[in-house]
Structure 1
Amino acid sequence: MRFLLTTMGQPRADEALQMEMGKFIQELTEAGALIATGGMELGGTLIKSVGGEITVMDGPFAEAKEMAGGFALIDVGSREEALELSRRFFAIIGDGEGRMQLIYG
């Protein structure tokens, strides 16, 4: 089962966090669970379709703290396993908010 895990806003970026996160990412990679990971710009571009009309708006947006700041695409055996990896991730980065979504297909 593939899941997309996203975090909101920008996590702290000190050296201890980077070392701990590096170990976590290496563990997931060696286990074959991590497909991709990375940071994302907070603003991005909003593409909206209403009645056949396409509107494109470039960020940053006022609500940038509510937008995804990072992601991990994982392949695990169950939703519970994905939740456990999410718990471990937040134990490393500390306070924050994220989303976990099942990827179909």
Structure 2
Amino acid sequence: MRYLMTSKAGGQAPDERLYQEMGKFVEELTAAGVLLATGGLAPAGIRVSSVGDEITVTDGPFAEAKEAVAGFALVEVRSAEEALELTKRFRRIVGDGESVIQQVF
């Protein structure tokens, strides 16, 4: 089962400890074959919406920085519970903030 774990920007600036702990976490998940992809996301974006035949394109950013999705991890695990445990470990490393887990079909 694949899960997309997204994370909103946290309140604290990254420091050397965070980079070291996150590096170890990523290495562990990569070695286990669980981590498929990770990345950070720019705060700006392009919103494309449609109503009937009308397509509207709007440049972002669209939310306050603390509400914007800042990064993601795509993992392949056996269950939602396993994805949740990985996300809890991630949150313990990065500190305050919010993450969302969604199954990828």
Report the TM-score, using the length of structure 1 for normalisation: 0.92
1:71 deviates by 0.2
Structure-2 residue corresponding to 1:6: 6
Q: How does 1:18-29 map to 2 (within 5 A)?
A: 18-29=19-30
Q: How many residues align?
A: 104
Runs of 4+ in 1 over 3 A off after TM superposition: none
Provide closer, same or farther for how the CA distance between residues 63 and 52 of structure 1 changes in structure 2, counting only shifts above 3 A. farther
CA contact (8 A) 1:43 1:64 kept: no
What SS class does the counterpart of residue 77 from structure 1 fall into? coil
How big is the shift at 1:62?
A: 4.1
Name 1:33's counterpart in structure 2: 34
Unmatched tracts of structure 2, length 5 or more: none
Match for 2:9: what amino acid?
G
